[in-house]
Amino acid sequence: MKPPTARLRRPSRRTFVRNMCIGGLATFGAPLVSFAQVRQNGRFVFVLLRGGFDGLAAVVPHGDPAYQSLRGTLAYEDSDLVMLNDVFGLAPGLAPLKELWDQKELVVLHAMAIPYRTRSHFDGQAILETGIDRPAGSADGWLNRLLQVMPGERSGIAIASGLPRSMSGSFNVQTWSPTQLGVVDDDFLGRLSMLYRADKALSGRFEEAMQQQATVGEEPMAGQNARRGGIAPLMRAAARILRQENGPNIAEVEFSGWDTHANQGLAGGALDRLLGQLAEGLVTLRTEMGPAWSNTTVVVMTEFGRTARPNGTRGTDHGTAGAGFLLGPQVARSRVFADWPGLGDGALFEGRDVKPTLDTRAVLKAAIAGTFDLMPAQADRVFPSSEAVRGAYDLMA
């Protein structure tokens, strides 16, 4: 672990540090406890690919001897791929990520899955978003739990349609999305606030909306572009919000359309175009963050991978393990992080899916610990009953 001072490279004007020695309460031999009430500088972006993103189509195990025959009509030729090493290559749509790879900022994750076996979008997203190892009706989202656990002044924002499960819980978070609905003046909002104050269930939410309006301000560019499709406009807007000195520390961005049951295609095909949008979005985020990128970590995950073999309609059905990404300047180095189970006979999970060998929580623990200087015990608290799953802490510098 880095010492906490490494986090304070660029302390903000409003940062204040308060050290408190609880001498009177400390038991003999215990270290002095200091509470640093500092504004967190770290930025963490969780990109949720809803629908079940096909890991084998994105991060291609071209060196696996069974790859060509297993993937059949969906198998890439080596010449189409952006080669990462002897075994893996990126689909052509992800080519923009090569720059991050070369800059030692990209960890490619594979054979990774949530800790619960399901092929249901509903259950899979619930597991990924709550960070709990089984479907749990009312559990908080794991990003909300992260906000509850991490020290210092901190806040979170969802760049999403409504408040996503991953962000919901007892810690108040903002939501933001581009709108084109028109502008309202302060007089009107003032009167409306008065009305909302009389409604106990909604008053807090409306108050937050007002504050948010003040911090985020108008983002007309994003509003105009968001409809064009893709995630880049959202990423641009996210960056503008996150890069502010006192901006949110945690953001959730969603991107759907990954449920490719039919005709997913190869280079330039439907899925590859979507991958292109994803890569463009990630690169846009990196550019737009400016100097604040140095404190930023991004994780890209999905609820499940897809069947290893193509289905009957040149697509893939709901599967198990898949791929993801961890990126940012604070990763230790670029690498493919996978305990590759292989695609050969008997290697597939239930004879059909990539076998899971990496728990999403191991990666998430490392990512948040590295970004916010959390101790492993704190990271464990973000994912209840996960003590047995050790964080892959050496992924981060």
For another protein, the closer of residues 121 and 381 by Cβ is 121
Q: Nearest-5° angle of CA 128, CA 149, CA 35?
A: 160
Q: How far apart are CA 394 and CA 332, in angstroms?
A: 7
DSSP code at position 251: E
Taking the complex as a whole, how short is the minimal distance between the CB of residue 227 and another protein, in angstroms?
8
Q: Give CB contacts under 8 A, 24+ apart, made by 26-33.
A: none
199 scored as a contact of another protein (CB under 8 A): yes
For 149, the enclosing helix (H) or strand (E) is helix 142-149
For another protein, the closer of residues 183 and 388 by Cβ is 183
351 scored as a contact of another protein (CB under 8 A): no
**Looking at 6-14, 27-35, 38-46, 194-202, which segment touches another protein (CB under 8 A)?**
194-202
- Stretch 63-102 residues interacting with another protein (CB under 8 A): 73
Taking the complex as a whole, how short is the minimal distance between the CB of residue 209 and another protein, in angstroms?
4
337 strand-pairing partners = 109
**Looking at 27-35, 171-179, 334-342, 377-385, which segment touches another protein (CB under 8 A)?**
171-179
15, 41, 144, 175: which one binds another protein (CB under 8 A)? 175
**Looking at 177-185, 245-253, 273-281, 290-298, which segment touches another protein (CB under 8 A)?**
177-185
Contacts of 39 (CB under 8 A, 6+ apart): 11, 12, 14, 15, 152, 153, 154, 246
> If DSSP codes are grouped into helix, strand and coil, which group holds residue 234?
helix
272, 317, 373, 380: which one binds another protein (CB under 8 A)? 317
Q: How far apart are CA 253 and CA 238, in angstroms?
A: 8
Dihedral angle sign, alpha carbons of residues 264, 266, 267, 268: negative
Contacts of 9 (CB under 8 A, 6+ apart): 41, 294, 295
For another protein, the closer of residues 258 and 372 by Cβ is 258
190 scored as a contact of another protein (CB under 8 A): no
Residues near another protein (CB under 8 A) are 50-51, 73, 119-123, 135, 158, 161-163, 168, 174-177, 179-184, 188-189, 191-192, 194-196, 198-199, 201-203, 205-206, 208-210, 212-213, 256, 259, 261-262, 311-315, 317-318, 350
